[in-house]
């Protein structure tokens, strides 16, 4: 009697039948295929900042099938957030942003692990947390936190996708944290101390949607190994004209973080 054919042992993160149906429109993309989708499922993303950018990025990460997402924000929902932070409802005012976002995202995809951390991360917290992740999305709105996230990613060599939006403008950049690429600090030190938040300067609602979606796109491409990420590039968006501009970002050999 001949031995029946036995398929090669399957990776524990191989897609089951329901997942293959769910992600079928991504699986049919030749660049993505099962290899890319399974890589997403095996990925762990740390998303810091559940404001406008985080609310735009998170649903696409969750819907795309990223296996595990940890949301971080210490804030509660305020009426003035509803104009652009589209995961929150009027009834959520006063509630925790990460708890409400996690509940909404889990309803979108029960298949993935969603963790909520309601806290402001210190540099020490970040140094402990970041090495546990495949990629970090910076959706925060202040320079001190951005620099702390960047430093933790540089040290742990974890890729970082950074987004920012204010008034009618947005920017996106990705950092591989490998080889001789720039880090976020190589870029941010060019801004000097000049720093405004949406609270002080205002923001047009869909601008955070555009930039947050771009961050999710970058994350999916990097984790699935599809296309060319915005490594070494700064992508600027001007909502008033609808124009995108791209600039090269070079490593500053004297950068105090990565130099
Ligand atoms: Zn640097």
What residues does the ion ligand 1 have nearby, CB within 5 Å?
Answer: 183, 185-186, 255, 257-258
**Ligand 1 mean position, distance from CA 259 (Å):** 6
**Ligand 1 mean position, distance from CA 45 (Å):** 22
Average pLDDT over residues 128-141: 97
Copy the structure tokens of residue 217.
């796109």
In a domain? residue 57: yes
**Ligand 1 mean position, distance from CA 255 (Å):** 5
**Ligand 1 mean position, distance from CA 69 (Å):** 26
**Ligand 1 mean position, distance from CA 135 (Å):** 18
* Alpha-carbon distances of 108 from 26, 102, 111, 162, 185, rounded to whole Å: 17, 10, 9, 24, 35
DSSP state of 203: B
**Ligand 1 mean position, distance from CA 254 (Å):** 8
In a domain? residue 92: yes
In a domain? residue 50: yes
In a domain? residue 49: yes
CB–CB of 232/181 below 8 Å?
yes
In a domain? residue 2: no
Decide if pLDDT at 1 tops 70: no
CATH of the domain at 204: 3.40.50.720
C-alpha–C-alpha distance, residues 178 and 62, integer Å: 26
User: Domain range for residue 90?
Assistant: 43-248
Share of the chain above pLDDT 70, in %: 92
pLDDT in tens, 118-129: 999 999 999 999
Decide if pLDDT at 8 tops 80: no
Order the strands of the 160-166 sheet from edge to edge: 113-117, 68-72, 44-48, 135-138, 160-166, 169-175, 233-238, 243-248
Question: Based on the structure, what is the number of domains in the chain?
Answer: 1
**Ligand 1 mean position, distance from CA 190 (Å):** 11
**Ligand 1 mean position, distance from CA 84 (Å):** 31
Taking Cα atoms as reference points, which of 120, 148, 122 lies closest to residue 136?
148
**Ligand 1 mean position, distance from CA 204 (Å):** 30
Taking Cα atoms as reference points, which of 183, 187, 182 lies closest to residue 236?
187
In a domain? residue 259: no
Decide if pLDDT at 3 tops 60: no
User: What is the model's pTM?
Assistant: 0.93
In a domain? residue 72: yes
CB–CB of 124/130 below 8 Å?
no
């Amino acid at each position: 009697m001949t031995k029946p054919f036995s398929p090669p042992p399957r990776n524990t993160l191989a897609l089951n039948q329901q997942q293959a149906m769910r992600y079928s429109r991504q699986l049919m993309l030749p660049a993505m295929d099962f290899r890319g989708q399974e890589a997403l499922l095996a990925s762990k993303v740390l998303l810091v900042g559940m404001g406008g950018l985080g609310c735009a990025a998170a649903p696409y990460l969750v819907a795309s099938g990223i296996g595990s997402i940890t949301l971080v924000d210490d804030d509660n929902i305020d009426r003035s957030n509803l104009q652009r932070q589209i995961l929150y409802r009027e009834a959520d005012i006063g509630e925790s942003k990460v708890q409400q976002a996690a509940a909404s995202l889990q309803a979108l995809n029960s298949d993935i692990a969603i963790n909520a951390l309601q806290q402001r991360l210190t540099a020490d917290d970040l140094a402990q947390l970041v090495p546990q992740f495949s990629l970090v999305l910076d959706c925060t709105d202040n320079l001190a936190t951005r620099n702390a996230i960047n430093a933790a990613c540089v040290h742990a060599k974890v890729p970082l996708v950074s987004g920012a939006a204010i008034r009618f403008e947005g920017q996106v950049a990705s950092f591989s944290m490998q080889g001789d690429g720039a880090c976020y600090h190589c870029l941010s030190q060019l801004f000097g101390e000049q720093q405004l938040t949406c609270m002080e300067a205002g923001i047009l609602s869909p601008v955070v949607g555009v930039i947050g979606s771009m961050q999710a796109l970058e994350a999916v491409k990097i984790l699935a190994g599809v296309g060319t990420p915005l490594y070494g590039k700064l992508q600027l968006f001007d909502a008033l004209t609808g124009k995108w501009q791209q600039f090269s970002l070079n490593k500053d050999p004297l950068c105090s973080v990565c130099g």
